[in-house]
Structure formats: structure tokens, C-alpha cells
């Protein structure tokens, strides 16, 4: 499944860069004393200003293009969509999308948005039992954050920026991953403490982008510096980074060494390069827009790798891969403090903060848990389902089962 993995890493990188503006090279502030926690800047909300849409795009299941039916912040009120269900089922939309009255009856936009907020698979039941990530620190390194979004503003303990143009507004990626990890409605660990660094993994030059992961390495080291200032019962236990790196890219050695330093401090670093850094394998799950996110049977291969899986299903070994929710997620939008956006096609970028939030729950129920024991337990407690497609049935899994996972690792 090599091509699929390369594709998802590229998708993750594209999502990370999709709305980033030109970054400037900024000095990394160094501190010889205890880090002062706080928020260094409040990036303004993003404004897409997209106006009226003159025609609904069509979805091509054989295309690898992203944003095929992108309705975010568009006014589509003049369009006739009663017969466009096939395309609407793959639409991305947000709180500022202006809808027509003649939507297909099978397309309930409000229900789709609400279902997408649910992290699913029993996570909310764990919350009702007090398993919320309380007392656990989660760090995220990503794009500029809309720091006052209602999903996570009460959880944000620290926000800083490294290698960022100070004039840029909040970006699409940061609010999404923060809400998936610790959001009060959307998140896996809604009472975990959030420590966030906005950072750009390189520079925009001559119409292109030059990767430089030395900035990511500096950001990881900043997180470690912050962690030293925290009380023992409030430590950061996981860093979520929705990007991957390769040996051919500048800064590969630096970021690899920084991850090793984090591991020595007992911190799990979840990234698109997690197989290289931990030998862990995961893949992202798809879900039809109106299927119940609580039921394992609602899930299927993610949109970006479904076609490849159906050609070679034996390449995904159920005993080796942990499958994590990815597609059809509603997350915090950068366009306003109470705005949300539904992404039909996720990419690993959305699975990585989910794993990070899940690890925060694990650290709450068992502070002695290690990444290796966590991953082993997740694989051993996950679900294998019968996935049916075109009159064929496949053994599909291992789908993470958060409730069984917590039961297995809980410190008695």
C-alpha cells in the first residue's frame, strides 16, 4: 500500500499549506528561565469573501483532486440543487454557506453538521464517565489559530508563533486540529490542556514552497521547554503534528532528533511519520454523511484510499493497522469564534489529533501508560467488521474501540 501512504502524506501536507500566507523568518525566542504561559497574539478571523456561486461543481470519484465540491462561505442560494444529491454528498461547507431552499430531501445539512461534530465510537460515553483528558497536556504544532474559538478557548494555556508572518489571520488547519483534539463539542479529550505553537515548515519562494523542518524541530524543543515549567501532574504527554517529513527534505535530521528528545521526556509525538518514529501504522476511516459515527459498521475505507483498497484489500493487514475516524468531520472554522465547517474528505491531518486526544484519555486513566503499551492495547481491543461493497464482503479493521481500550489500560 506504498502509493496510498505517499498519497495521504501529500494530502496532509496540502491541507497544511492550503491557506498559509507568506511566512517570514522570525527569531526563535529563547528563555533561560521558566516559560511564561500566555497568548502572544490573537490572529483575526479568516474571511473567504467568496460571493455567489454560479454552478455546483461535480464530484469525480476517480479524481485525486481536493476540494471538488467546495461550498465553504459561498452563497449558493440561486442554484437549483434538487437533483444534485450525488455531488452534495461530497460537499465541504461551513456556517457561512448560504443555501437554497430546494435541497434534496436526503441532504439534511443541519443533521450532517451535527453528526460530524461527534467523535464517535463511544468517545462521548467515556466523557460522561469523567474520562475527558483532564489534567493531561496536549501540544499541537500547526497553522495560525483562532485562539478565541468557543471549541477550545477555555482549554488553551499557551499560544506562540515561530516562523510566522505576524500579519496573517487564522488559517483553516489550526482550528480544525485543535477542536478534534480538545474541542468541547467536537473533541476527543475536551478537558485536556492545550499548548499550541503556530509554525510554518519552510518558506514560500518564487511561487513555490521550500520545505525546511528545522523550524518544526525548534517548535518541538519549545514545547519541551514549556513542559519543564509545568507541574508534575499537568505535564504535556502528546504532541500532535499533522505533517510528515522525509530524508530528502531540509531539516530532516533536526526534526528527527527533536522527536527523539521528546520521546526521552515521555512524550508521544503523533505525525504522518509515526511509522518511522515508532513503527506504528494507522489509516483513516471514511463515513457516509448520514451514517451513525458511534457504530463501527458505519465506517469504510477513507475517500482518498478507498479505490486502492478495493483493488488490493490484502495489503491492509487487520493485525497491523489501527483505523481512526477521518472523513465527514465537523470542526472549528477559522471564519468566526462560533463558526463550524464540515469536511467531507479528511486526510491524515484529521486522524492525527484524534489519536493525540485518545492518548490524552489514556494518560488520564493510567498515568504510567507508554506509547508502545497504548498502541498494543488499541490493536488488541479494536473491532473487525464485515465491509460490503459491490456484492463483495471484506474483513475490515482494526477499528479503534475507545471504550475497550480504556478498560484494558486503566490502572486498577
The DSSP-derived string for 153-221 is TTTEEEEEEES--TT----SHHHHHHHHHH-TTT-SSTTSEEEEEEE-SEEEETTEEEEBTHHHHHHHH
pLDDT of residue 411: 73
Do residues 260 and 273 lie in contact, with contact meaning Cβ atoms separated by under 8 Å? no
The CA distance from 329 to 347, in Å, is 11
Work out the pLDDT band at 49, boundaries 50, 70, 90: confident
Q: Which CATH architecture has domain 2-46+117-409?
A: 3-Layer(aba) Sandwich (3.40)
Q: Which residues pair with 160 in a beta bridge?
A: 197
On the question of pLDDT at 128 being above 80, the answer is yes
pLDDT of residue 34: 67
Residue 373 φ/ψ, nearest 5 degrees: -70, -35
For the chain, the average pLDDT equals: 91
Instruction: Look at residues 37, 340, 305, 279 and name the one whose alpha carbon lies nearest to residue 159.
Output: 37
Question: Would you please indicate which residues are annotated as catalytic (active-site) residues?
Answer: 142, 173, 349
Strands 340-343 and 281-287, by their bridges, are unpaired
- Reduce the DSSP state of residue 255 to 3 states and report it: helix
- Please tell me the total number of residues recorded for the chain in this structure: 412
On the question of pLDDT at 32 being above 70, the answer is no
Tally of CB atoms within 10 A around 34: 11
Do residues 321 and 398 lie in contact, with contact meaning Cβ atoms separated by under 8 Å? yes
The average pLDDT across 4-13 equals 36
pLDDT of residue 412: 63
Amino acid at each position: 500500500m506504498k502509493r496510498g501512504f505517499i498519497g495521504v502524506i501529500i494530502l496532509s501536507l496540502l491541507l497544511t499549506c492550503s491557506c498559509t500566507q507568506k511566512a517570514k523568518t522570525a527569531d526563535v525566542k529563547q528563555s533561560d528561565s521558566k516559560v511564561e504561559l500566555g497568548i502572544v497574539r490573537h490572529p483575526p478571523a479568516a474571511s473567504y469573501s467568496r460571493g455567489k456561486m454560479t454552478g455546483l461543481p461535480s464530484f469525480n470519484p476517480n479524481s485525486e483532486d481536493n476540494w471538488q465540491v467546495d461550498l465553504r462561505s459561498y452563497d449558493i442560494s440561486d442554484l437549483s440543487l434538487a437533483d444534485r444529491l450525488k455531488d452534495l454528498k461530497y460537499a465541504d461547507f461551513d456556517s457561512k454557506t448560504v443555501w437554497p431552499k430546494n435541497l434534496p430531501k436526503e441532504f439534511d445539512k443541519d443533521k450532517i453538521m451535527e453528526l460530524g461534530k461527534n467523535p464517535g465510537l463511544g468517545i462521548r460515553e467515556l466523557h460522561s464517565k469523567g474520562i475527558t483528558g483532564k489534567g493531561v497536556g496536549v501540544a499541537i504544532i500547526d497553522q495560525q489559530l483562532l485562539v478565541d474559538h468557543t471549541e477550545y478557548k477555555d482549554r488553551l494555556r499557551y499560544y506562540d508563533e515561530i516562523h510566522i508572518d505576524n500579519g496573517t489571520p487564522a488559517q483553516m488547519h489550526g482550528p480544525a486540529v485543535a477542536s478534534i483534539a480538545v474541542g468541547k463539542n467536537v473533541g476527543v479529550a475536551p478537558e485536556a490542556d492545550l499548548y499550541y505553537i503556530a509554525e510554518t515548515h519552510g518558506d514560500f519562494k518564487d511561487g513555490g514552497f521550500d520545505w525546511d523542518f528545522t523550524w518544526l524541530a525548534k517548535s518541538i524543543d519549545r514545547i519541551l521547554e514549556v513542559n519543564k515549567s509545568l507541574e508534575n501532574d499537568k505535564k504535556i504527554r502528546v504532541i500532535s503534528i499533522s505533517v510528515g517529513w522525509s530524508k530528502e527534505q531540509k531539516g530532516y535530521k533536526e526534526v528527527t532528533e527533536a522527536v527523539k528528545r521528546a520521546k526521552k521526556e515521555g512524550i508521544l509525538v503523533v505525525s504522518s511519520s509515526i511509522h518511522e518514529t515508532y513503527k506504528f501504522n494507522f489509516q483513516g476511516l471514511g463515513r457516509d454523511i448520514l451514517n451513525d459515527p458511534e457504530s463501527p459498521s458505519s465506517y469504510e475505507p477513507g475517500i482518498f484510499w478507498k479505490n486502492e483498497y478495493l483493488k488490493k484489500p490484502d495489503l491492509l493487514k487487520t493485525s497491523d493497522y489501527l483505523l481512526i475516524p477521518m472523513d465527514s468531520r465537523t470542526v472549528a472554522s477559522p471564519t468566526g469564534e462560533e463558526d463550524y465547517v464540515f469536511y467531507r474528505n479528511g486526510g491524515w491531518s484529521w486522524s492525527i489529533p484524534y489519536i493525540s486526544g485518545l492518548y490524552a484519555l489514556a494518560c488520564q486513566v493510567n498515568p504510567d501508560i507508554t506509547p508502545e503499551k497504548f498502541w498494543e492495547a488499541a490493536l488488541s481491543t479494536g473491532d473487525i467488521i464485515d465491509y460490503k461493497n459491490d456484492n463483495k464482503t471484506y474483513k475490515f479493521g482494526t477499528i479503534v474501540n475507545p471504550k475497550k481500550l480504556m478498560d484494558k489500560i486503566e490502572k486498577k
